[in-house]
Amino acid sequence: MAFIGNLFWFVFGGFAGGTLWMLMGLVMCCTVVGIPVGIACFRIGRFAYFPFGKELVPAEWMGEKRIPGTGVVQFFWIVLPGICLALAEAFLGIAFCCTLVGIPWGIAHFNLAAASFAPLGKRVVAKDYAKVLKQKYYEAKATAALQSKNPPQA
DSSP calls for 82-120: IHHHHHHHHHHHHHHTTSSTTHHHHHHHHHHHHHHH--T
Q: Which residues contact 24 (CB under 8 A, 6 or more apart)?
A: 38, 41, 45, 81, 85
Confidence band of 125 (pLDDT split at 50, 70, 90)? very high
CA distances 74 to 36, 80, 114, Å, are: 10, 10, 13
In a domain, 151, yes or no: no
Residue 149: pLDDT above 70?
no
pTM of the complete model beyond 0.75: yes
The candidate with the shortest Cα–Cα distance to 76, out of 121, 37, 128, is: 37
Residue 29: pLDDT above 80?
yes
Confidence band of 31 (pLDDT split at 50, 70, 90)? confident
Structural domain boundaries, residue 50: 2-146
Please count the structural domains in the chain: 1
In a domain, 140, yes or no: yes
In a domain, 154, yes or no: no
Confidence band of 102 (pLDDT split at 50, 70, 90)? confident
Q: How much is the pLDDT for 133?
A: 92
Rounded CA-CA distance 141/63 in Å is 12
Determine what percent of the chain falls in helix, strand and coil, rounding each to the nearest 5.
70, 5, 25
Strand partners, 55: 125
Q: Do residues 92 and 16 touch, judged by C-beta distance below 8 A?
A: no
In a domain, 153, yes or no: no
In a domain, 107, yes or no: yes
Strand partners, 57: 123
